[in-house]
Amino acid sequence: MPRENGFDNKRVVIVGGSSGIGFAVAEEAASHGANVVIVSSNAERVQEAIKSIGGEAQGQAVDVSDEKAVESFFTNLALIRTRSVKRGVAMKFQARFVGR
């Protein structure tokens, strides 16, 4: 039976998702069917979080104090979506932010 929580097959981007409350949010979102993308400044913690969450979890180290780095990250994320849609894979891009 499909979940009715609105997270199935949605991409949820969690800034600060490699530890603490952000990590807990990432775990919970993934447990409800979300495709989680973890963003944090610490590459090692991002990889540990992805491994811990498992499934379709992805992540990237981004210096969130650098506006251009953040803009580049989201531009690349949108390009991935656009390419997928062009290939016929229907994906909705949905970003939810959890600040530190």
Q: Please write the tens of the pLDDT for every residue from 31-60.
A: 999 999 999 999 999 999 999 999 889 999
The model's confidence at residue 95, banded by pLDDT at 50, 70 and 90, is: very low
Bridge partners (DSSP) listed for residue 59? 38
pTM for the model stands at 0.72
Long-range contacts of 47-56 (CB under 8 A, 24+ apart): 48/18, 49/17, 49/18, 49/19, 49/23, 52/23, 52/27, 53/26, 53/27, 54/30, 55/30, 56/30
Is residue 97 domain-resident?
no
The residue type found at 77 is L
Is residue 95 domain-resident?
no
Structure tokens at 45: 């913690």
How far, rounded to the nearest angstrom, does the alpha carbon of residue 22 sit from its chain's CA centroid? 11
Is residue 4 domain-resident?
no
The residue range of the domain holding 73 is 11-86
Is residue 41 domain-resident?
yes
Is residue 98 domain-resident?
no
Is residue 3 domain-resident?
no
| DSSP state at residue 90 | -
Which CATH number does the domain housing residue 58 bear? Answer: 3.40.50.720
Q: How many domains does the chain have?
A: 1
